[in-house]
Amino acid sequence: MSATTTAAAPVDTSPATRRHPGALAPLRWEIRKLRAQYRAKAVLIGALVLPVIVVVVIQGQSRPPKDTLFGRFATDNGFALSLLVLGFAAQWVLPLLTAVVAGDIFASEDQHGTWKTVLTRSTSRAQLFWAKTLTACGFAVIVLAVLATSTIVSSVLIVGHQPLTGLSGQTIPAAEALRLVAASWATMLPAMLGFTCLAILLSVWSRNPAVGIAAPVVIGMVMQLVGALGGVEAIRPFLLTTPFEAWHGLFADPRFTGPLTEGLITSAAWCAVCLGAAFVMLRRRDITGG
């Protein structure tokens, strides 16, 4: 972590140009800090390389993993395999990937004792908050895009692009299957940003990067467990992990998108609540030490 690179901030002299760089400068610093971070680079490289390994290993299995949706076609259909990886990633990989940056981005300032340093620059707490939030969300988008592209490209190239059997038994031609698989990966974004916001809240509140990174993954797994229980289905719509399963509707015939809309609302609500709480906490915090 190279939080001290903020010392290289540009020095503004004329009052006329002061406002504009003031709004964007914190964002530039945050992105620069992120680009220097070894951990973020490792996550991106992992998202690029690991799916290829997973695809090769699953393709080599003699028995397909039938207990997961699309698993029974995974060894001889590339689209099914990328959907199998999607189902697995949604269980804990996606929350982890985003939390690696989002759970650390506020807490690392505590860890390095650099809050006072960054706040004595001509930037407000609000500006800094939004700069860090945008950086974390941007990283989530990039890491999801890398993981999705790597999975889809490797499974289609290694396993093939045969027509896919959908969730109503219908046959989906290869071109449409590719579109639907890409769309399914894209529908992970709202819930993933929801986890980003949750990680930000935990990062601000705990002031501890370990909590910020691990707790969202654990909370995600608890929500997954609660969502799979038979008797408590009434709380399913409120769980942040439910939108991760909304893509099923794209592969049914007729297609249904109700869960996607509900998932968008759920994710937005989680994000709003978490960011609101994090913002209030940061604004009211007494930063004197460090």
Interface ranges with other proteins (CB under 8 A): 66, 69-70, 72, 165, 167-171, 205-206, 208, 211, 215, 222, 226-236, 242, 245, 248-249, 251-253, 256, 258-259
Nearer residue to other proteins within complex by CB, 146 or 274: 274
Q: Report whether 81 contacts 74 (CB < 8 A).
A: yes
Q: Name the residue nearer to other proteins (CB basis): 246 or 271.
A: 246
Sign of CA dihedral 10, 288, 129, 211: positive
Of the two residues 20 and 66, which places its CB atom closer to other proteins in the complex? Answer: 66
Distance CA 137, CA 200 (A): 10
51 versus 259: smaller Cβ distance to other proteins: 259
In the complex, minimum distance from the CB of residue 34 to other proteins, in angstroms, rounded to a whole number:
25
Please give the backbone phi and psi of residue 44, each rounded to the nearest 5 degrees, phi first. -65, -40
CB of 230 to other proteins, least distance (A): 5
Question: What whole-number distance in Å separates Cα of residue 192 and Cα of residue 96?
Answer: 10
Instruction: Take residue 257 and report the two structure tokens written for it.
Output: 């998108």
Angle CA 229–232–234, to nearest 5: 130
Of 75 and 155, nearer to other proteins (C-beta) is 75
Q: Measured from the CB of residue 46, what is the shortest distance to other proteins in angstroms?
A: 27
Q: At what angle do helices 38-59 and 78-88 cross, to 10 degrees?
A: 130
One DSSP character per residue, 127-188 reads HHHHHHHHHHHHHHHHHHHHHHHHHHHHHHHHT----EE-TTS-EE-HHHHHHHHHHHHHTT
Cβ distance 74 to 65 under 8 Å?
Answer: yes
Shortest Cβ 279–other proteins spacing (Å): 18
Closer by beta carbon to other proteins, 27 or else 172: 172
Min dist CB 211 to other proteins, Å, is: 6
Q: Supply the minimum distance, in Å, between the C-beta of residue 126 and other proteins.
A: 25
